[in-house]
């Protein structure tokens, strides 16, 4: 069965048309054409029997022809006596030929054969008589109804035209559904594609629900952005006052207090960064993933991180939100170098996706803890190296959120050669 709605709807339309044509063709040919053919051929059988009786009753061939033609000529039958025997032959597509042959064979005494192939408009019949083989030639319309090929051709042409009309109608009905699917897919990747209501009532209802949903989500993002701007200002102001106050205090405990303030600043920055992951992003732009990989590796090395480049596949430019993608990969590289001594950045091409791969030689994350590790503020320090410092627990969560905003996902695994954590940021092509 077709997997798409287009193929299934086309199948629903085509199967009944083809089935109806087959049923009508079989029933009409078998019950109508065959019955008429038998009735018409039986009338010819009676005429041929009469002619044969006249020929057999004559004493000479000349007398036989004269007596037979008095009956044959008014009936449009041409006679030849004597003539060569005729073998029965017909076309494979001659649907009424078998009925003509069987009826003549059963009704005409001395029947030899009937030729329905040499001339499609004539019937050649050979009959054994007392004066030799009698050749009977008559019009094909005398033994069978009009050839059913005309009906079949008409049905096929009509069915084709109806299928074409149905295809055009179906395409127009499915076009709004495809536009709705493209708009929904683009919105899932953080893009806004213009969409207007069209199509049947049900499609319009689904489209209106999508537009309402998109508007609500946009309003929520906008409200969250405004709220976070105020929260950022309100939190940073007292922290700044604390820093200034501590700078004027000469006490042994000042260093510890300043460290606490720095931790608070880092926590606030991490929280605001996660909350604003997709609220303040720019529109997608055409980005060269290869250039992005080299840029990130160069920045990481300049910052003192031990980052090497692995396999880099050339994929051409792709539409991404560059700032968000850089931030996600920076977080992954920072995690890799914090918990390991060296990291590797690669760009791989899958069957229908591209993968930014970050690997390290650290302790990794246990399989049962990987889902928990991608949740916000999740800290699995018991399985990581704390000598390099401890994070807020938002690096993987931010990267996962950015991957989802591009229509992809984040996948955690084990690096086969480095032995540490392997993080794949998978994005669809």
DSSP letters spanning 87-107: --B--TT-SSHHHHHHHHHHH
Check residue 367 and give its pLDDT.
87
Specify if 184 maps to a domain. Answer: no
Residue 300 inside a domain? The answer is: yes
Output the pLDDT for position 190. 67
Same domain, 305 and 368: yes
Q: How many domains does the chain have?
A: 3
Would residue 295 count as lying in a domain?
A: yes
CATH number at residue 263: 1.10.287.130
Do 270 and 316 have their domain in common? no
CA separation (Å) from 235 to 208, 232, 238, 269? Answer: 40, 5, 6, 10
Residue where one domain finishes, among candidates 124, 147, 170: 147
Kindly state whether residue 140 falls inside one of the protein's structural domains.
yes
Q: Is residue 160 part of a domain?
A: no
The answer to whether residues 266 and 300 belong to one domain is: no
Q: Which structure tokens are listed for 298?
A: 């160069």
Alpha-carbon torsion (321, 327, 330, 332), positive or negative: negative
Q: Which two structure tokens, joined as six digits, stand for 143?
A: 């033994």
Q: 43 and 124: one domain? A: yes
Task: Examine residue 419 and state whether it is found in any structural domain, yes or no.
Answer: yes
Nearest to 364 by CA among 421, 423, 424, 418: 421
Prediction pTM value: 0.50
Residue 368's pLDDT is 85
Residue 427, phi then psi, degrees to nearest 5: -125, 140
Taking only the tens of pLDDT, the chain with its 429 residues reads: 777 777 777 788 788 878 887 787 777 766 667 788 888 999 999 999 999 999 999 989 999 999 899 989 998 899 998 898 888 998 887 778 888 899 999 999 899 999 998 888 899 999 999 989 999 999 988 888 665 566 667 777 887 888 888 888 888 888 888 888 888 887 876 677 888 888 888 888 988 998 888 888 878 777 766 776 676 667 777 777 777 777 777 766 677 777 777 777 776 776 666 655 555 455 678 888 888 889 998 888 888 888 889 888 888 888 888 888 888 898 899 888 888 888 999 999 888 889 999 999 988 888 888 888 887 666 665 444 444 445 556 778 888 888 887 878 899 999 888 889 999 999 887
Query: Are 31 and 135 in the same domain?
Result: yes
Residue 216 belongs to some domain of the structure: no
Residue whose entry in the numeric block shows the structure tokens 């205090």:
249
Q: Are residues 383 and 330 both part of a single domain?
A: yes
Last residue of a domain, one of 94, 113, 147: 147
Q: Both 49 and 126 in a single domain?
A: yes
Do both 31 and 132 map to the same domain?
yes
Report the candidate in 388, 413, 384, 296 with the shortest Cα–Cα distance to residue 345: 296
Chosen domain end from 107, 130, 147: 147
Listed residue (335, 341, 337) closest to 391, CA to CA: 335
User: What are the Cα distances from residue 219, in Å, to 128, 188, 223, 321?
Assistant: 98, 16, 6, 20
Together in a domain, 269 and 363: no
Structure tokens at 179: 């536009």
d(CA 288, CA 347): 12
Confidence at residue 112, expressed as pLDDT on a 0 to 100 scale: 93
Please indicate, yes or no, whether residues 92 and 138 belong to a single structural domain of this protein: yes
Claim to verify: residue 389 and residue 254 sit in the same structural domain: no
The pLDDT, as a whole number, for residue 252 is: 67
Euclidean distance between CA atoms 4 and 150, whole angstroms: 37
Quote the domain boundaries for residue 31.
5-147
- Are 260 and 301 part of one and the same domain? no
- Do the domain assignments include residue 266? yes
């Amino acid at each position: 069965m077709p997997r798409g709605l287009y193929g299934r709807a086309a199948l629903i339309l085509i199967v009944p048309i083809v089935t109806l044509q087959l049923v009508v063709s079989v029933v009409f040919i078998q019950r109508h054409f065959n019955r008429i053919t038998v009735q018409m051929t039986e009338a010819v059988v009676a005429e041929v029997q009469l002619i044969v009786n006249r020929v057999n009753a004559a004493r000479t061939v000349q007398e036989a022809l004269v007596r037979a033609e008095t009956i044959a000529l008014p009936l449009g039958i041409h006679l030849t006596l004597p003539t060569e025997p005729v073998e029965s032959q017909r076309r494979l597509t001659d649907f009424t030929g078998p009925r003509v042959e069987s009826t003549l064979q059963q009704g005409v005494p001395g029947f030899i054969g009937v030729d329905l192939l040499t001339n499609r408009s004539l019937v050649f019949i050979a009959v054994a008589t007392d004066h030799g083989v009698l050749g009977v030639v008559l019009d094909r319309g005398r033994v069978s109804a009009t050839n059913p090929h005309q009906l079949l051709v008409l049905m096929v042409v009509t069915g084709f035209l109806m299928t074409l009309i149905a295809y055009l109608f179906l395409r127009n009905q499915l076009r709004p559904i495809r536009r709705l699917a493209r708009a929904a897919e683009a919105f899932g990747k953080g893009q806004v594609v213009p969409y207007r209501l069209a199509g049947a009532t049900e499609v319009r209802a689904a489209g209106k629900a999508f537009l309402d949903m998109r508007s609500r989500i946009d309003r929520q993002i906008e409200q969250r952005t405004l709220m976070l701007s105020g929260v950022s200002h309100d939190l940073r102001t007292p922290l700044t006052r604390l820093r200034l106050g501590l700078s004027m205090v000469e006490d042994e405990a000042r260093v510890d207090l300043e460290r606490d303030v720095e931790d608070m600043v880092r926590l606030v920055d991490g929280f605001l960064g996660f909350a604003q992951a997709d609220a303040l992003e720019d529109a997608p732009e055409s980005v060269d993933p290869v250039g992005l990989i080299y840029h990130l590796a160069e920045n990481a090395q300049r910052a003192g991180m031990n980052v090497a480049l692995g396999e880099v596949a050339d994929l051409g430019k792709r539409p991404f939100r560059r700032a968000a993608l850089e931030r996600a990969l920076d977080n992954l590289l920072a995690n890799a170098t914090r918990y390991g001594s060296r990291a590797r950045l690669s760009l791989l091409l899958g069957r229908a996706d591209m993968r930014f791969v970050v690997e390290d030689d650290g302790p990794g994350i246990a399989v049962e803890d990987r889902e928990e590790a991608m949740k916000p503020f999740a800290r699995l320090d018991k399985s990581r190296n704390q000598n390099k410092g401890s994070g807020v627990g938002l690096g993987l969560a931010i990267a996962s959120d950015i991957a989802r905003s591009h229509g992809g996902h984040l996948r955690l695994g084990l690096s086969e050669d480095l032995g540490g954590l392997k993080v794949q940021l998978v994005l669809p092509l």
